[in-house]
Amino acid sequence: MSASSVPLSRAQIDLVLSRLQGLFGFAFALLSIPVLAGSSSTLKPEWGWGIAVVLFGLIAACFVTSLVGRGIRISMTLFAGAFVLALLLWPFAVRSPEAALGVQPWLWYIVIVAVGAAANALPTPWAVVYAIAVPGLFFALRLLPAGGGAPVLIALLDTVYSLVLGAFLVIVNTGLRSAAGGVDDAQRTAVRRYAEAAKRHATEQERTRVDTVVHDRVLSTLLAAARAEGPDDRRRVVAMAEQALVALQSADAESELGGDRPLGSLVERLRALVGTITAEVSFHAEGDIGQPVPARVLEGVYSAAVQAVSNSVQHAGEQGVTRSVRVHCWGASGFSVVISDDGQGFDADAVPADRLGLRVSIRERVDAVGGSASVRSTPGGGTVVVLEWAPGAVRAEEPLA
């Protein structure tokens, strides 16, 4: 499934905003190097260059983590905190207040970078506080001799500039994330309702199947027994009762779901399901998808797959999670459906007994049609759900490639 066919989710928006922040932060840092070099004569080497190395190193770390998609929040939080510390320690970095008079601290050129990092890494209320507090600290520093001893109007203009740009960044970040979060919530609700509808549909078909068998076989047997008068009638009633018991045990063959359908119908339904997910999910099918499979098996496996995909979207995490759905057909030997992600994972043994998602919605649905379901997951190591079915017997589990 291509990214262009998927609505932008919260995870994608977060990653795009982080990469933009990393790129432009790195560019602003490079632009501030000439200013730093020009004001180096006013700074103590051990302080001035130490602050520069720490801040530039953290900006580079933000840029790298935004590209790889890991550790973004940590690196940007560290940079935002280090910048505040640099503002507070700046009076100790200058050689003397007299030497710094009339020289603007080069930190002003990366104030907006620090505010952008805070907008990306911190919750919105804290980002707002940061966007106000940091320009306020810079305003106080500009009035001090160590900060250049600027007139109040000049210091105020610098502060207002930082406030306006910082407010813009916070508003854009919050607005885009809120909109994408609304899309994600709507998608999760749709998947959950779809899973519930599929379960209700399967339950209704099961009820209809049982009702049909009871009406056609059992009731007829009971009526015949009520009318039986002689030994021959009783023998016929016994035979009818035996046939009714067989029909109850193998009612699949006498229900709407008792016929065979090509495995391709399951493949197309799963492909359509993947197409409705806002999170990016890859899909792959291999083997002879024209192989006939009992329709009830396809329905049970599909319902379990819907629940597995829904669980992944809701619980695996958002940013940077890779998901896939794969269908493998073994010809006459059966087929498997593998739903996997590399998200947060969980301890399957620690799932409470009253949580029915794994036990009922996945395992029992597949067990009911003669298949098997296995769930492999470790905290932080992702989750793999394997649904398998083979004619006549449950296929032994094979290791995943």
Instruction: Name all domains of the chain by residue range, CATH numbers in brackets.
Output: 3-185 (no CATH), 259-401 (3.30.565.10)
CB of 48 within 8 A of CB of 40? yes
Distance CA 377, CA 167 (A): 42
The arithmetic mean of pLDDT across residues 292-307, rounded, is 85
pLDDT at 336 over 90: yes
More confident residue, 196 or 77: 77
φ, ψ dihedrals at 392, nearest 5°: 85, -25
Mean pLDDT in the chain? Answer: 78
Q: How far apart are CA 227 and CA 331, in angstroms?
A: 50
Three-state DSSP state, 141: helix
Amino acid at 277: I
What pLDDT is stored for residue 358 in this prediction? 55
- Helix boundaries (H) for 276-397: 295-315, 356-358, 365-367
The yes-or-no verdict on residue 396 having pLDDT over 60 is: no
Locus of tokens 């046939």? 243
Using DSSP bridges, classify how beta strands 323-329 and 281-286 pair: parallel, antiparallel or unpaired: parallel
Report the C-alpha gap between 324 and 285 in whole angstroms.
Answer: 11
> Could you give the CA distance from residue 3 to residue 324 in angstroms, rounded to a whole number?
13
pTM of the model as a whole: 0.50
Tell me what the mean pLDDT of segment 198-218 comes to: 62
Contact 367, 300 (CB under 8 A): no
Strands (E), 140-294: 260-262, 281-286, 292-294
Q: How many residues does the chain have?
A: 401
Q: In this structure, what token pair is assigned to residue 323?
A: 């998901």
pLDDT at 3: 40
pLDDT at residue 335, as a whole number:
93
Q: 39: helix, coil or strand?
A: coil
Q: Are 324 and 316 in contact (CB under 8 A)?
A: no
CB neighbourhood size of 104 (10 A): 17
Average confidence (pLDDT) over 211-233: 60
Sequence-ordered alpha helix ranges (H) in 250-368 = 263-275, 295-315, 356-358, 365-367
pLDDT of residue 289: 84
**Which amino acid, 71?**
G
Instruction: Catalogue the long-range contacts made by 140-144 (C-beta closer than 8 Å, 24 or more residues apart).
Output: 141/87, 141/90, 141/91, 141/105, 142/104, 142/105, 144/91, 144/97
Give the whole-number percent of the chain exceeding pLDDT 90: 12
Q: Which two tokens mark 299?
A: 């329905």
Look at the block and give the residue holding tokens 């029909």.
247
- In angstroms, how far is the first alpha carbon of the chain from the final one? 21
Q: Which of 32-41, 119-128, 278-287, 334-343 has the lowest mean pLDDT?
A: 32-41
